[in-house]
């Protein structure tokens, strides 16, 4: 128990990876068809895949979706919310294409910044955190062929992005409880494992 308390993030990471692997085996066993990610476009450029997934994505996505969850330097918080708004505006038309939904999330970004500027709250309400990690999962719809995604139904769509939804929830929890660097490290390690599993699967 002492080891788990001292290395809680590592313990969560191991359970997380095991869960994802077991879930993939179950889906394959049940013959649930999931669309291939656009990441397969990097098949002939593994170095590009590695840099994009393990280095660039964790830095950019965590700054845009998790940095502002805890009050810190207001300039950086503002930049974080600005980048989040850019991500939202670029969201796929499949689920969040409505200009009203995008406007609502951007309005929420503005309210978050105002709340930090005028009030003493150090962290966001858990409901607001839930909204942001849900949006984080949904932006990954763009990893798939949009023509196919539009026709697969809501349940299969959720199966497509459940790993990102789960990851978003875990990363949001880590951001609230630990330092920001821990979120980047977790995201990077997670993507590293996925890239390695992909490379191994391609060789078999």
Mean pLDDT split into 10-residue runs, the chain, 204 residues: 68 91 79 60 73 92 93 90 88 62 86 86 79 83 65 67 88 92 96 86 65
Give the list of residues 6+ apart from residue 77 with CB closer than 8 angstroms, or none. 67, 68, 71, 113, 116
- pLDDT score for 1: 62
- pLDDT score for 59: 95
- pLDDT score for 37: 62
First to last CA, the chain: 38
- pLDDT score for 184: 96
User: Does the CA dihedral 198-169-97-27 come out positive or negative?
Assistant: positive
C-alpha–C-alpha distance, residues 20 and 64, integer Å: 24
- Phi and psi angles of residue 123, each rounded to the nearest 5 degrees, phi first: -135, 160
C-alpha–C-alpha distance, residues 105 and 118, integer Å: 20
């Amino acid at each position: 128990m002492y080891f788990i308390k001292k290395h809680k993030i590592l313990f969560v990471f191991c359970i997380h990876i095991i869960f994802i692997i077991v879930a993939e085996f179950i889906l394959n066993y049940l013959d649930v068809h999931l669309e291939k990610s656009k990441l397969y476009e990097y098949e002939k450029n593994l170095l590009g895949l590695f840099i994009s997934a393990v280095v660039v994505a964790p830095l950019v996505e965590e700054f845009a979706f998790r940095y502002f969850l805890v009050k810190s330097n207001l300039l950086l918080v503002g930049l974080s919310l600005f980048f989040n708004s850019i991500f939202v505006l670029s969201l796929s038309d499949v689920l969040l294409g409505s200009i009203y939904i995008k406007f609502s999330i951007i309005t929420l970004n503005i309210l978050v910044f105002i709340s930090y500027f005028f009030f003493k709250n150090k962290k966001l309400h858990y409901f607001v955190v839930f909204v942001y990690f849900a949006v984080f999962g949904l932006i990954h719809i763009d990893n798939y062929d949009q023509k196919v995604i539009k026709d697969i139904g809501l349940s299969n769509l959720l199966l497509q992005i459940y790993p990102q939804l789960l990851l978003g929830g875990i990363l949001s929890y880590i951001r609230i409880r630990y330092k920001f660097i821990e979120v980047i490290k977790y995201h990077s390690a997670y993507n590293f494992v996925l890239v390695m599993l992909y490379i191994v699967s391609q060789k078999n």
